[in-house]
Amino acid sequence: MHRTLKGIITLATFAAAAACGDAGSPTESSLVAPPDAPVMARPSRGLTFSYTQSSSSATAQSSLGGLGKIDFAGSLTTGNPCVDVTASHTAGSSDVTVTVTAASTGAACIQVITFNNYQGSVSGLAAGTYNFTVIHDLNGSRTTAHTNTVTVL
């Protein structure tokens, strides 16, 4: 057993020295994978989201699949402009749900119908077909605003 372990350590030392080149220190090529080597990494899922307010027009609800992502747009209507609009998402193997939430800023505010027009993207998705849903959460009241079957490339 001792002789076999010594042989493995010697072989590993020889391989490490060969990777380091003549100078005995790691070379650039020994530290990174070759440029044509496949990199197997699981994409991270991320959400980007932004919104603007309008008192005159709402953005139609929509969603569209792309390369590793789903782009979406829509509008959440509130009774005044004193809200912060945020979004969160969940993604499973075949379902992606975005929840768009309007929360009062607590400021005194004039009552006027406000269209909180948003756009966003869920990225890092594997290729496939997804059931995409947008939920609006206004003061704790949740409604389904949009559903679509989306193909991600």
Residue 37 is assigned to a structural domain of this protein: no
Domain range spanning residue 16? Answer: 2-31
Residue 36 is assigned to a structural domain of this protein: no
Judge contact between 132 and 45, C-beta under 8 A: no
The per-residue pLDDT for 44 is 54
Residue 38 is assigned to a structural domain of this protein: no
Query: Do 19 and 53 reside in the same domain of the chain?
Result: no
Rounded Cα distance between 111 and 37, Å, is: 60
SS3 20: helix
Query: Do 116 and 82 reside in the same domain of the chain?
Result: yes
Rounded Cα distance between 64 and 72, Å, is: 6
Condensed to tens digits (0 to 9), the pLDDT of residues 26-49 reads 433 333 333 443 433 344 569 999
Beta bridge partners of residue 101, listed in sequence order: 86, 137
The per-residue pLDDT for 21 is 44
Condensed to tens digits (0 to 9), the pLDDT of residues 69-96 reads 999 999 999 999 999 999 999 999 999 9
The per-residue pLDDT for 33 is 36
Location of structure tokens 């269209």: 115
Query: Do 27 and 51 reside in the same domain of the chain?
Result: no
What is the residue-averaged pLDDT of the chain? 80
Judge contact between 41 and 127, C-beta under 8 A: no
Judge contact between 150 and 89, C-beta under 8 A: no
The per-residue pLDDT for 47 is 97
Residue 52 is assigned to a structural domain of this protein: yes
pLDDT of 101 above 90: yes
- Of residues 71 and 15, more confidence is placed in 71
Percent of the chain at pLDDT above 70? 71
Query: Do 17 and 54 reside in the same domain of the chain?
Result: no
What is the CB neighbour count within 10 angstroms for residue 152? Answer: 20
Query: Do 104 and 133 reside in the same domain of the chain?
Result: yes
- Of residues 23 and 145, more confidence is placed in 145
Q: Residue 82's closest CA among 58, 116, 59, 49?
A: 116
CA atoms within 13 A on the CB side of 57: 2
Query: Do 130 and 79 reside in the same domain of the chain?
Result: yes
Q: Quick one: which H or E segment has residue 2?
A: helix 2-20
Give pTM, 2 decimals.
0.71
Residue 86 is assigned to a structural domain of this protein: yes
